[in-house]
Every structure is written in structure tokens, then in C-alpha cells.
Amino acid sequence: MQKLRLRYAKRGRLRFTSHRDIARAFERALRRAGVPMAYSQGFSPHPKVSWVGAAPTGVASEAEYVEIQVVDRVDPDALRTALDAVLPPGLDILEVVQSAGGTLPERIDASEWRVELPGVSPEELSEAVTALLAAGSVEVERLTKDGKKIVDVRPAIVSAQVGAQTEAHSEAHSSDAGHDGQDLSRPCGILMTVVRQTTPTVRPDDVLSALRVVADLVPPVPAKATRMAQGRLDDEGCLVDPLALDRAAEV
């Protein structure tokens, strides 16, 4: 069998789609594209598809990963083109590589997030982030299916930096902003943060809750979070691309 690793994006309105529905759409696309999938054994065989740390419903992502196994060798670039043609807009295959061995989860222990906060000035956001980083512990309340749960957010935050929305970026995303009802002519602080994938997982909304706890920061409209990258943290706190070893093996 051949094992292939795919990086895909979840964009626009598709960020509101649950992971279960995305998985169903992906499996339909595999059938429509005629991918020679390998199947599990047993009474109810299913295609060998392994998802790695899917982003929460409601957030976008430029760095989602999935592994598939096929029974006949396929060209990674041809597979990317074929799948991208049959997937719904907003679910985009960005890269396909052949596995060089090992497992993807062991190469991923953190995520980089970009969080746009319309109506919050970069100065106000910077003050809140400084307070967050200075804290040794910041507990927030999360509502789960089993009731309310207290999560300490601070240990998972590796780094956090603040930027501002640029005019060029506003124009590039004006159509998406219109869908969200966001007025990009207002001040918009940008939070770039690297977060360890701990247990329980600390999500972007948990980080925003932590900013509310330490600095009473409450955006006037919902923030928009996008996962920009996943990978393993190196000694300098930077993320190592999880597909780098697979690309190197292809050369």
C-alpha cells in the first residue's frame, strides 16, 4: 500500500462546518475522484483515512492534515488536482506528499493561530497580551457536554505577538468580512500566538477568554480565528513543518 499525507485549508463559510461533515465530504470526494482507496477489514469496511488534530468548528485553517492509504500507487500532484476539483469551495487541498514513515501526530505538538479582533485597537490588545504573558496562571471556564470545566490557559501559550490590520489585507478579505458582518474600516488588532496542543486542548476562544480575565478585553464583534500552521516546537519555540521530512525523502 501507499500512504499519502495531505495538507488542506478550511476557508470562508466552510469554517462553520463540523469535522464530521468535512470528513463525509472528503470521503465523497475520494470516491468521485476515483482514488483507489485501501479499506479496513471486518463486517463494515471503511476507507483508510486518518485525521490529525482537526480545527474546532467555527475557525478557519490553512494547515489541516489527513493521511490516506491506497492500494495502487498514485502521483501526489495528480491526486491533489483531482481531489481539489471535486471538493466544495472553501475546502482546498494545498499539498500532497508520499509518507516517508513515522506518524504525523508525533510531528505535531503546537499550532500557530491568527486571531482578528475588529473594533479592538492594537494598543489595547497589546496591553492585554502583556498582562496575559506576565501571568503565571489564567483559569477560564469552558462549557462542555459534561458541564462547565476550568482550564488553565497560560501554560499552553508559547508566544503571542500583536499586529494591526493592513489596508491591503482589508481589501483582500473584504468579501469574507462582508459575510461575517465585520467592518474592516474600524481598528482591528491581530493576535499571532503559538499554542501547545495540550490536554485538554487550549483553543483560540480560550485565549480570548484569558484576555478577558486578565484585562477585561471584550471585542465588540466576534473575533475571527485562523490556524496558520501546525508542527513540532524546536528549541527556539518555532514550528517545524510536519511534512518537511516527507518532502526531503522525495528529492
Same domain, 113 and 204: yes
Where a domain ends, among 99, 123, 148? Answer: 99
Question: Which residue segment(s) compose the domain that 22 sits in?
Answer: 2-99
Where a domain ends, among 67, 99, 131? Answer: 99
- Say whether 251 sits in a helix, a strand or coil: coil
Decide if 244 is inside a domain.
Answer: no
Q: How confident is the model at residue 176, as a pLDDT?
A: 46
Q: Which of 161-165, 176-180, 212-216 has the highest mean pLDDT?
A: 212-216
* pTM for this entry: 0.87
Where a domain ends, among 47, 73, 99? Answer: 99
Does residue 166 surpass a pLDDT of 60? Answer: no
What stretches of 110-228 show up as alpha helix (H) in DSSP? 122-134, 167-172, 174-180, 204-215
Sign, CA torsion 155/157/162/167: negative
Number of domains in the chain: 2
> Which amino acid, 248?
A
Query: CATH number of the domain that 191 lies in?
Result: 3.30.70
Same domain, 94 and 47: yes
Give 205-223 pLDDT, tens digit per residue. Answer: 999 999 999 999 999 999 9
Decide if 171 is inside a domain.
Answer: yes
